[in-house]
Structure 1
């Protein structure tokens, strides 16, 4: 199966954001727990340890990446169950990320924003976030996780097209 890329570039006050949306047939509290509780985030992205509050720095371990790399992650904003904003810096650059949640009629919508640095390579970053957000969706739904091979390099051309315009 080849998932369809959903990301789009959006002008923002501070530059450009990569925006993706996912919907879940789940209460907002369940999706919130999946993006904020260490045992739940480890199911789809990374485990973290530390004091999870605004202004604090936690230690993030990417459990689905080769070598389980670690980095510090600063929590910029945490407004349960509607908004989480974080930032980390690693050998690939600065990652300023935001998740916004809203619920209507038993469906929770997650809007994911990667506030891009000018030198961010969207052609590889976009497929990576598509993969992780689909892992999140599988985690919430209790279905099998997707394979990264279905996202990269298959979606590279789509994301190159976004930056060419």
Structure 2
């Protein structure tokens, strides 16, 4: 698997990872893919977002909507039937900032923040995910975001979606190794 160095998430501190991508705009279009259920479901998960600070965000994961690849046995139920999680919106600043507390992914809850800014004719997306309590969760979440952001880029550029399950385990292993290097 050939991945450009700038595509990897960066460990900020213990339990936090940040990703940055330059995406085709306009910024309102990228915002729509973050907050509108039908658009978000094409690269990450569906679910309505109540458009205000303190509002509820539903996160309905059904990976068969984003990839036709056969999932590993442990992910089959989420892939085929779906899984509902949610959270509380902590920042709603269209079209620049969307953040939420994610409930249901593990203990403790975690915090996700998307920040969009104009970068010439592109849109800079910065994703930060904090409060990832264990090294295994950090590696799993990092590889997941890496793949989901690749699918977002595929959606925005009109490319066919890249692999997901076929590269997930190798990428998770790579993130675990990268974390060891960051701690050294």
Q: Same fold (TM over 0.5)?
A: yes
Task: Rate the CA distance shift 1:50–1:125 in 2: closer, same or farther, 3 A.
Answer: closer
Contact 1:44 1:135 in 2 (8 A): yes
Question: Post-superposition shift, 1:157?
Answer: 3.4
- 2: CA distance between counterparts of 1:103 and 1:142? 20
Which sits farther off after the overlay, 51-60 or 122-131? Answer: 51-60
- 1: CA distance between counterparts of 2:165 and 2:53? 35
Moved over 6 A (4+): none
Unaligned runs of 5+ in 1: none
Q: CA RMSD in A?
A: 2.0
Contact 1:127 1:151 in 2 (8 A): no
Alignment match, 1:77 = 91
Alignment match, 2:58 = 59
Unaligned runs of 5+ in 2: 64-77
Q: Which has the higher helix share?
A: 2
Q: Tell me, what secondary structure is at the counterpart of 2:41?
A: helix
- 1: CA distance between counterparts of 2:124 and 2:179? 26
Alignment of 1:5-44 (within 5 A): 6-11=8-13, 16-44=15-43
TM-score by length of 2: 0.79
Task: Rate the CA distance shift 1:139–1:158 in 2: closer, same or farther, 3 A.
Answer: same
